[in-house]
Structure 1
Amino acid sequence: MRLRTIFEPIGVTFRMNNAAQSAVSAFPIQPAQRLVDLPTQFFAKLVRKANEQTAAGHDVINLGQGNPDRPTPPHIVKALQEAAENPLYHRYPPFNGYLFLKEAVAKRYREDYGVELDPEKEVAILFGGKTGLVEIAQCLLNPGDVCLVPDPGYPDYWSGVALSGARMAFMPLREANAFLPDYSALSSDEINKAKLMFINYPNNPTGVTAPASFYKETVDFAARNGIVVASDFAYGAIGFDGQQPISFLQTPGAKEVGIEFYTLSKTYNMAGWRVGFCLGNAEVVRMINLIQDHYYCSLFGGIQEAASVALTGPQDCVKELVSVYQSRRDALFGALDSIGWKANRSQGSFFTWLPVPKGYSSESLADMLLDKAKIVVAPGVGFGEHGEGYVRLGLLSTEARLKEAIARIQALGLFG
């Protein structure tokens, strides 16, 4: 065995004898328990299966992932191009980010939701919303604590809880209750040990939105039981049929009991830019900033400037994007209706939540659709036990491709 080293470019080479090779191969490297305890990435298997079909030359229609398919609006890209030339941004940015970006998101919340935020104390800048969803559990939970988690729900909630050493108590989201959690169904033990809870509307994966009454109930429940609320508002800009989704922070008392996570990934097609925010309770924001002081040195300043342009500039691009998703939703459900696959229309987000036909589990249906029709859908069980019986389809392809996907499914004769 020959090892290449950093010295090789100047002509120095090291060789190992057989005894040394055996010692290296037998050297035990054990992961920390926190890595062992991390949940399995269910969707890594989904991606692998889809990639295998594509590599084999098949025309795969991928409706299983949540990756926006449209480009970032040109005026935001131009802002980054210009900002990248500013020498100020070639140095380390402030640890907590530039104040101008915090002021920009505060302005957007004031204009869109009527929510007032102190940019310095009630706004933290994140490396994408996902980062904050993992960090907050590490900020608030100790081993033995409980986090209330929606089921089905976004799997990365589980990751932060696992890293904190806490445990999860699941809140079933059932169609009979409009896919809202029923707090009265939780046990007193779960409630007494809970320190944190996640909510997410517009919801991934079910595509429903939440009414103002739900947020009031949530604030009351959290205040009564000393539980911090983490509202995942990643799809906050995407509501259909003229309905703007409600922000948790619009509810009186919300900032006293919790925070909201917001991201530019979906609103402005900036998923690869990794810009998100934690907004609301000043003490939780302080904790998020503190843990990030030990992880990062904030985002590249040019990205922060471009993000502020997105937030403070014309919002026509957002309205256009929502219109595109609604047109896709309507086209998809029109096609579903035509083949007899009955489901409730999505109220928000860019996802649809469809019941599995008889004779299939969510995973067996997903496997069959990929194998027989070359269509990728996400099995509901990947989002939790109560996701079984459904599959998630994304509105992240053209109307023509969505209709083609349903035509392929129709050819399988699943619905008579």
Structure 2
Amino acid sequence: MTAGGKRRPWRSDRLSKLGSSIFAEVGQWKDEAIAGGIDVIDLGIGSPDRPPSEHVRRILSEAALRDDSYSYPASKGSAAFRAQAAAWMKHRFGVDVDPEQEIVTLMGSQDGLAHLATALCNAGDRAIVPDPGYPIYAASLAVAGVEPIFVPLKRERGYLPDLDALPESAWEEAVFILLSFPGNPVPALANADFFRQLIDKARRFGVLIVHDLAYSELGFDGLRPPSILELEGAKETAVEFHSLSKSFNMAGCRIGFLTGNAEAVGALRELKGNIDYGVFNAVQEAGIAALEEGMNDPNYESVAPLYQRRRDCLVEALRQEGWNVPSPPATMFLWAPVPQPGEATGERWSSRRISREMLLETGVVVIPGDAFGSEGEGYVRIALVESEERLQEAARRIGEWLRKHGLKG
């Protein structure tokens, strides 16, 4: 208590706007199920269940043992990692970027996503973000005091935003628009025509495009998701996040990068120079090894075939159990409409209700769609982060549970 007998809570009001409480809530449900003796199959958080290659782990281990690895790293990333990231962009997308001015190294793409609005915007500014969208998109705005303009992603449009449906006032007020192709949680994909339309809009209104390409290597059936930076003139108005977490099974290492427009990249680099000391040098060396392996090793196999097999396995198994789940063309998630009772049998099930009750009774963890925004209600997100055998077991349990409750998908 203060001398006046009052004390404000030691908790910022902004914490209530971060939107991550559902993940803590699902964690509590999971603990409750485990305490009840249930074998849990966790298809909630999209954390890869495979390690990086043996070569990458060896490089990481050797670097961590060196005496010279423990000084402060450069906050913008080592010159060697940024040069390798630029080489990978050229190899993978045919895009030329300047490693000195157009790349900043990050502790995973979430690091950059969390801080970008603070680097680009003033309090009271506005930014366009997708609904549903990865939670850090809106949370980063709350931290920066930036007001969101939500653009809905609808299934009937292939989860592509209707850019022309946004009023001109939204474009005039926005500092940036943040989109992700392939998306999380929705399996949205964009082609060159959409990117051209987006770039034209952004140029017209002076809006920065922020493209989250964390799932660039998780395209299926021969698909290779493109970079927006492949489009002519894109660097004038776009930046792009890349991550080694999913593409190279390095989620725990925390390494990624932002590339593209030098002014925006420089703003984030300047902010990070004031708030952290960058990525552990040994992790950057492992990141270099991963990117080199992906570029040069003739025996290298990307992560896409693994997740494609898991997608096919789980989608088919769920369909056999009566849940007709769409098969995504990319990413490591299924975005599944919530099964419902028949027309005459009563109230509809919400995303949160089905997620909780299914977990407590079957042990299968999924994330309710409303965790990603209001447009996510009526869906659940299912991560492909278990073996095919465990995915088949999850489908079997879900099928029994759906029949018990009279639900159909």
TM-score in terms of structure 2 length: 0.92
Contact 1:267 1:318 in 2 (8 A): no
- AA paired with 1:160? S
Give the Å deviation of 1:166: 1.2
Give the Å deviation of 1:86: 2.8
DSSP 3-state at the match of 2:239: strand
> Please, which of 360, 365, 387 is the counterpart of residue 371 of structure 1?
360
CA distance in 1, matches of 2:19, 2:395: 32
- AA paired with 1:262? H
DSSP 3-state at the match of 1:235: coil
Partner of 1:161: 141
Q: How does 1:13-92 map to 2 (within 5 A)?
A: 30-35=10-15, 37-92=17-72
Matched, 1:227 2:207: yes
Contact 2:351 2:379 in 1 (8 A): yes
DSSP 3-state at the match of 1:313: helix
Q: How does 1:343-382 map to 2 (within 5 A)?
A: 343-358=325-340, 359-382=348-371
Contact 2:32 2:360 in 1 (8 A): no
CA distance in 1, matches of 2:2, 2:262: 55
Partner of 1:396: 385
CA distance in 2, matches of 1:96, 1:87: 22
DSSP 3-state at the match of 1:241: coil
Contact 1:339 1:415 in 2 (8 A): no
Give the Å deviation of 1:385: 0.6
CA distance in 2, matches of 1:55, 1:80: 37
Partner of 1:175: 155
DSSP 3-state at the match of 1:96: coil
Per-residue CA deviation, residues 83-136 of structure 1 (Å, 9 max, x unaligned), is: 123333222222322111001111111111101111101100011100100111
CA distance in 2, matches of 1:233, 1:388: 24
Matched, 1:306 2:286: yes
Tell me: CA distance 1:60–1:85, structure 2 relative to 1, closer, same or farther (3 Å).
Answer: closer
Contact 2:129 2:137 in 1 (8 A): yes
CA distance in 2, matches of 1:212, 1:340: 36
Matched, 1:415 2:405: no
The sequence identity of aligned pairs, in percent, is: 38
Partner of 1:3: none
Partner of 2:244: 264
Tell me: CA distance 1:95–1:382, structure 2 relative to 1, closer, same or farther (3 Å).
Answer: closer
Q: Which moved more, 1:307-316 or 1:213-222?
A: 307-316
CA distance in 2, matches of 1:41, 1:219: 35
Partner of 2:106: 126
Give the Å deviation of 1:335: 1.0
Give the Å deviation of 1:259: 0.4
CA distance in 1, matches of 2:316, 2:178: 33
Tell me: CA distance 1:39–1:356, structure 2 relative to 1, closer, same or farther (3 Å).
Answer: closer
CA distance in 2, matches of 1:314, 1:36: 41
Tell me: CA distance 1:29–1:151, structure 2 relative to 1, closer, same or farther (3 Å).
Answer: closer
Give the Å deviation of 1:34: 4.1
- AA paired with 1:41? S
- AA paired with 2:310? R
Give the Å deviation of 1:26: 8.1
CA distance in 2, matches of 1:22, 1:52: 40
Tell me: CA distance 1:70–1:184, structure 2 relative to 1, closer, same or farther (3 Å).
Answer: same
Give the Å deviation of 1:32: 4.3
CA distance in 1, matches of 2:2, 2:239: 53
Tell me: CA distance 1:32–1:61, structure 2 relative to 1, closer, same or farther (3 Å).
Answer: closer
Partner of 2:257: 277
Per-residue CA deviation, residues 219-246 of structure 1 (Å, 9 max, x unaligned), is: 1111111111111111111100011011
DSSP 3-state at the match of 2:101: coil
Partner of 1:186: 166
> Please, which of 225, 229, 237 is the counterpart of residue 249 of structure 1?
229
Partner of 1:383: 372
Tell me: CA distance 1:35–1:110, structure 2 relative to 1, closer, same or farther (3 Å).
Answer: same
Q: Over aligned residue pairs, what C-alpha RMSD do you find?
A: 2.0
Per-residue CA deviation, residues 188-209 of structure 1 (Å, 9 max, x unaligned), is: 3222211111101111112232
Partner of 1:147: 127
Q: Which ranges of structure 1 fall in alignment gaps of 5 or more residues?
A: 1-20
Aligned residue pairs total: 395
Q: Which moved more, 1:400-409 or 1:264-273?
A: 400-409
CA distance in 2, matches of 1:313, 1:242: 20
Highest Rg: 1 or 2?
1
> Please, which of 274, 293, 311 is the counterpart of residue 294 of structure 1?
274
Partner of 1:93: 73
Partner of 2:345: none
TM-score in terms of structure 1 length: 0.90
Matched, 1:330 2:312: yes
Tell me: CA distance 1:285–1:410, structure 2 relative to 1, closer, same or farther (3 Å).
Answer: same
Per-residue CA deviation, residues 14-41 of structure 1 (Å, 9 max, x unaligned), is: xxxxxxx999x98655334544554453
Contact 1:64 1:392 in 2 (8 A): yes
CA distance in 2, matches of 1:33, 1:377: 28
Matched, 1:136 2:77: no
- AA paired with 2:233? G
CA distance in 2, matches of 1:206, 1:136: 22
